[in-house]
C-alpha cells in the first residue's frame, strides 16, 4: 500500500511538471505570433488595384498573394504565416525596394 501511494504521488508530480514544461514551451510561441502578414499598400479598394501592386512587387522579386477580404477590401501580401519580426524584415526589404507603405498585421481572415 505504501509503494502504491508513493508511485501515485510521483506520477502526480511528474504529470504536473510535464504540464508546466509544455505550457512554458507553448506560451512564447503563441506570444510572438505565428500568423503575421506583410501587406503592400494597406487594404486596397479593389482587385485591380491589388493586382497592380502585386505585379510591381513581383517585378522587384517578391512573391505575392492577392487576397479578397470583402468586395471593397483587398490585400497584396508579400509575407504570410510567420512571426512579427519576420514580417517586419520583409517590410524592411519592401521599403528598401521603394515601396512606401508596407503593413504588418495579424492574419485574422482566410
Claim to verify: residue 22 and residue 44 sit in the same structural domain: no
**pTM flag (> 0.75):** no
Q: Distances in Å between the alpha carbon of 95 and those of 41, 56, 67, 99?
A: 11, 13, 21, 5
Torsion of CA 24, 25, 26, 27, to 10 degrees: 40
User: What confidence tens digit (pLDDT) does each residue in 1-39 have?
Assistant: 666 667 666 655 555 444 444 444 444 444 456 899 999
- Report the distance separating Cα 107 and Cα 87, nearest Å: 11
Claim to verify: residue 100 and residue 48 sit in the same structural domain: yes
User: What confidence tens digit (pLDDT) does each residue in 49-58 have?
Assistant: 999 999 999 9
Q: Of all helices (H) and strands (E), which one includes residue 35?
A: none
Q: What is the mean pLDDT of residues 82-96?
A: 97
Claim to verify: residue 1 and residue 27 sit in the same structural domain: yes
**Secondary structure letter of residue 99 according to DSSP:** -
Claim to verify: residue 58 and residue 16 sit in the same structural domain: no
The whole domain housing 54 covers: 36-106
pLDDT at res. 57: 97
Domain count, the chain: 2
Tell me the CATH number at 99.
Answer: 3.30.70.1070
Claim to verify: residue 13 and residue 51 sit in the same structural domain: no
Claim to verify: residue 41 and residue 90 sit in the same structural domain: yes
- 74: left (phi > 0), else alpha (psi -120 to 50), else beta? beta
- Report the distance separating Cα 26 and Cα 59, nearest Å: 39
Helices (H) and strands (E) in the chain, counts: 3, 4
C-alpha cell at 21: 514544461
Amino acid at each position: 500500500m505504501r509503494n502504491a501511494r508513493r508511485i501515485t504521488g510521483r506520477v502526480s508530480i511528474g504529470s504536473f511538471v510535464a504540464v508546466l514544461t509544455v505550457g512554458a514551451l507553448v506560451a512564447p510561441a503563441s506570444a510572438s505570433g505565428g500568423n503575421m502578414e506583410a501587406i503592400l499598400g494597406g487594404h486596397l479598394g479593389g482587385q485591380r488595384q491589388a493586382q497592380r501592386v502585386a505585379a510591381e512587387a513581383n517585378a522587384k522579386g517578391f512573391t505575392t498573394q492577392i487576397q479578397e477580404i470583402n468586395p471593397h477590401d483587398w490585400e497584396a501580401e508579400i509575407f504570410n504565416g510567420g512571426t512579427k519580426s519576420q514580417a517586419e524584415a520583409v517590410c524592411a526589404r519592401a521599403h528598401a525596394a521603394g515601396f512606401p507603405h508596407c503593413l504588418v498585421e495579424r492574419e485574422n481572415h482566410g
